[in-house]
Amino acid sequence: MSIAEIVEKHGNDRENLLQILHDLQDCSGDHSLHHDAMVQLSRIMNLTVADIVGTASFYSMFSLRPRGRHVIRLCESPPCYIKGSENILLALEKRLGVSVGGTTGDGLFTLETTSCLGVCGVAPAMMIDETVYGNLTEEKVNGIIDGLVKAA
């Protein structure tokens, strides 16, 4: 979808900016909001670029930097913490060779931490793209990553 089409779909109104940014990011190919896209958007919506960037940067689901093909978001809120999310983070960092915020050299994974994902019943939990994984152990995490690498 082009930027104009996305704006058209939601309606050219400030109110719809978040919904527009969601779609824009989904269409970006690298899970991020590109600067030139936001410049274009600012013209279409008659908003300043600073306003759009400022709004986008407030929300943790939007990224202004390109991210890998898969975005890993590990929950580090207290209910996951007491079930060992710290060790899971170490396991992920070890397996991927990047620290939080980093993207692997092959561009396959970006590692992020997040606040509660609302699946604390199966803590510790993480989301990779749209899929939630729970009851994580180091072994399980490695298996999940292996699976995604193989599928790539």
Partner 1 sequence: MSKPRMFLLVPIDANTVIAGAREVKNRFSLEIGKRGLAGEAKVIETGSFGPADAGVVVAVQPDGVVYGRLAPDDVPRIVEEHLVKGRPYVERILPGEKPPPPPESEDARHTQLHGRVVLDNCGRIDPDSIEEYIANDGYFALGQALTAMTPAQVIEEVKASGLRGRGGAGFPTGLKWSFCAPVKAREKYVICNADEGEPGTFKDRLIMEGDPHKVLEGMAICAYAIGATRGYVYIRGEYAISIERMQRAIDAARAKGLLGRNIFGRGFNFDIEIRKGAGAYVCGEETALIESMEGKRGLPRLKPPFPAQSGFRGMPTNVNNVETLANVPAIIRRGAAWFKSLGTAGTPGTKVYTILGHINRPGLIEVPAGVTLREIIEEYGGGMQSGSFHMAQLGGTAGDILGREMLDVPLDYDALQKVGHSLGSGAILIMNESVNVRDFLHACLKFFHHESCGRCGPCRNGLHVLRDITGRLKDGKAYKDDPGLMQEVALALKSSAFCPLGQSPAAPIMSAWRYFKDDILSGVDSNAARPRMARSLRADLSAAI
Binding site for ligand FES (CB under 6 A): 75, 77, 79-80, 116-120, 123, 125
**Residue written as tokens 């060790």?**
87
Closest CA to 113 of 72, 84, 53: 72
Binding status of residue 108 toward partner 1 by CB under 8 A:
no
Binding status of residue 77 toward partner 1 by CB under 8 A:
yes
The interface partner of residue 99, options being ligand FES, partner 1, none and the CB cut-off 5 to 8 Å by kind, is: none
Please select the residue that binds partner 1; options are 37, 74, 117, 141, rule is CB under 8 A: 117
What is the C-alpha separation between 63 and 88, in angstroms, rounded?
A: 23
Binding status of residue 21 toward partner 1 by CB under 8 A:
yes
Asked if 33 and 62 count as a contact pair (C-beta separation under 8 A), the reply is: yes
Query: How near is the Cβ of 115 to ligand FES at its closest, in Å?
Result: 8
Query: How near is the Cβ of 89 to ligand FES at its closest, in Å?
Result: 12
Binding status of residue 79 toward partner 1 by CB under 8 A:
yes
Tell me the H-state helices in the chain: 3-10, 17-26, 35-45, 49-58, 78-81, 85-96, 138-151
